[in-house]
Amino acid sequence: MKIEFRKAVLEDAELLVNIYNASFYDDYLRYGACPGYGITKEKMEETRSAYQKYVILCDNEPVGCISSKILKKGVYEVNCLCIIPEYQGKGLGTSAVQFVKTLYEDMERLTLVTPIDKKQNVKFYTEKCGFHIESTERDGNVELVRFVAER
């Protein structure tokens, strides 16, 4: 299995919408809303300038996305990591987090949030990716956990 990361370009907006929708459909059903589900092509194009987005390729097939941004000097946030369901559990997410950690030479802290009741995500980020839980916060009706990895 060959895993690669390709910087997303404007023409990838529709592809990314499809990846996000496939990846976050279950969350949409579970919570009644999901910020990663139902994004328009125009909104995806707009967010590309605020975030570094990379298409995750498995054997040359686009199967996911990871996006990140700088919060302040040395502090970065993973805004979105999504892998379409049939490719989850194959090491793609772990590789994507490691990839982002190499993007920023000055990175001191990398942070992200995920719903606290998604136990598989909590386990993934703590056991596979080296994050620890820093705090909890709320987004609408969803309780989130904030993770931090430090270098």
CATH of residue 80:
3.40.630.30
Q: For residues 49 and 41, which has the higher predicted lDDT (pLDDT)?
A: 41
In a domain, residue 19? The reply is: yes
Q: What residues form DSSP beta bridges with 72?
A: 75
Average pLDDT over residues 142-147: 94
126 lies in some domain: no
Whether 141 has a pLDDT exceeding 90, the answer reads: no
pTM: predicted TM-score of the whole model, two decimal places: 0.93
pLDDT in tens, 119-129: 999 999 999 99
Q: Is residue 133 domain-resident?
A: no
Say how far apart CA 7 and CA 141 lie, in whole Å.
33
CB atoms near residue 77 (< 10 Å): 19
Phi, psi at 74, each rounded to 5°:
85, -5
Cβ neighbours for 40, distance < 8 A, ≥ 6 positions apart: 17
Q: How many domains does the chain have?
A: 1
Summary mean pLDDT of the chain: 95
Backbone angles phi, psi at 130, to 5 degrees: 80, 20
| 66 has a pLDDT exceeding 90 | yes
62 lies in a domain?
yes
Q: Does 122 reside within a domain?
A: no
Region 113-117 average pLDDT: 93
Confidence of residue 140 (pLDDT cuts 50, 70, 90): confident
The per-residue pLDDT for 148 is: 98
Structural domain of 28 = 3-108
Q: Identify whether 103 is part of a domain.
A: yes
Q: Is residue 84 part of a domain?
A: yes
Query: What's the pLDDT at 35?
Result: 86
Residues 6+ apart with CB under 8 A from 105: none
Instruction: Identify whether 131 is part of a domain.
Output: no
> Model confidence over 67-112: pLDDT tens digits?
999 999 999 999 999 999 999 999 999 999 999 999 999 999 999 9
| Residue 76, pLDDT score | 97
Point out which residues pair with 132 in neighbouring strands: 148
